[in-house]
Amino acid sequence: MTGMVRDTREYFDTLDERFVPHEARGVSATLQYELSGETGGQWFVRVRGGQLIEISQGMAERPTLTLRMDARKFVDMTNGELDGTLAYMVRDLRVQGNVALAGRMKQFLPPRTTH
C-alpha cells in the first residue's frame, strides 16, 4: 500500500505506485494540475490505454482536464482526508475540461492506494 504523502512533490514522485492500470482502460487523457501555495506547482500526467505514460512538471499543451487547487488541500485529498466531490462542491477544487473524467480519476489514481 502506498501511504500518505507529505507534499505535492512526493505525490507526483510516487504516482506510478498509486496508478491502477485496469481502472484506466479506455482512458486517453492529459491531466493538468495547477496547485497554488507554498508547495504548489504545475504538473501534468498522460494516461493512454490503461498505462501511465508520463508524469512531468510544467504545463501540457491542450490538456483533457485541468485541476486547480491549493496544494495543502490537494495533499489532504490525495491522502483521503478530503473528499474530492466535496472539495469540488465548495469550490476548493476547480475543474476545467472533461468533468466526467475528474469523477473517474478516483478509480485509477485513488487516494492512499489499496491495490
Rounded to whole angstroms, the Cα distance separating 15 from 17 reads 5
Q: Helices in the chain by DSSP H: which ranges?
A: 8-13, 15-18, 71-78, 84-89, 99-108
How far apart CA 81 and CA 74 sit, in angstroms, is 10
pLDDT tens track of the chain, all 115 residues?
Answer: 467 999 999 999 999 999 999 999 999 999 999 999 999 999 999 999 999 999 999 999 999 999 999 999 999 999 999 999 999 999 999 999 999 999 899 999 998 744 4
**What is the C-alpha separation between 103 and 7, in angstroms, rounded?**
22
Give pLDDT, residue 47. 98
- The pLDDT score that the predictor gives to residue 1 is 46
pLDDT at 114: 47
Global pTM? 0.92
Q: Does domain 8-108 have CATH number 3.30.1050.10?
A: yes
Identify the pLDDT of residue 65: 97
Per-residue pLDDT at 2: 61
pLDDT at 77: 95
